[in-house]
């Protein structure tokens, strides 16, 4: 058996005023999930718990993201979340601070024979 990729989806999320990197990352993951009704388990006749979910998040301050909070977004499967340098911080026009923009990529795989 081999880890076989069956789906890739992308998302973007923001924290407009609070500079909350975890919230921006959470919104990016949810955006990616909402783009696709991920029913791959049923398609391949696997239990949902067999989904291997590799999520990569890009934000300007990776250390400011609470990965444990992000793991709660996934109701099933085996989430592996990594956070790295990326995204954008945009200076706020009317006050001190900035808007945080996060990008997310979700890859769903199963341990199966390649097709």
- In the chain, where do the E strands start and end? 2-15, 52-59, 78-85, 88-91, 98-112
30-41 per-position pLDDT tens digit: 999 887 666 778
* Tokens of residue 6, six digits: 């069956």
The pTM (predicted TM-score) of the whole model is 0.90
Give me the pLDDT at residue 37, please: 61
Please report, in tens digits, the pLDDT of each residue of the chain (115 residues total).
Answer: 799 898 899 999 999 989 999 999 999 999 998 876 667 788 888 998 999 999 999 999 999 999 999 999 998 899 999 999 999 999 987 778 899 999 999 999 999 876 6
Give me the pLDDT at residue 34, please: 86
Dist. CA 36–CA 27, nearest whole Å: 15
- In 22-97, where do the E strands start and end? 52-59, 78-85, 88-91
């Amino acid at each position: 058996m081999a880890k076989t990729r069956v789906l890739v989806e992308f998302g973007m999320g923001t924290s407009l005023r609070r500079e909350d990197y975890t919230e921006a990352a959470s919104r990016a993951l949810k955006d990616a999930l909402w783009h696709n009704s991920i029913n791959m388990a049923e398609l391949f006749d696997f239990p949902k718990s067999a989904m291997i979910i590799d999520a990569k998040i890009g934000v300007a301050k990776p250390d400011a993201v609470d990965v444990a909070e992000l793991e709660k977004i996934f109701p099933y499967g085996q989430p592996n979340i990594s956070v790295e340098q990326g995204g954008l911080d945009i200076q706020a026009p009317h006050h001190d601070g900035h808007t945080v923009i996060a990008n997310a990529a979700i890859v769903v795989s199963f341990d199966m024979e390649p097709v």
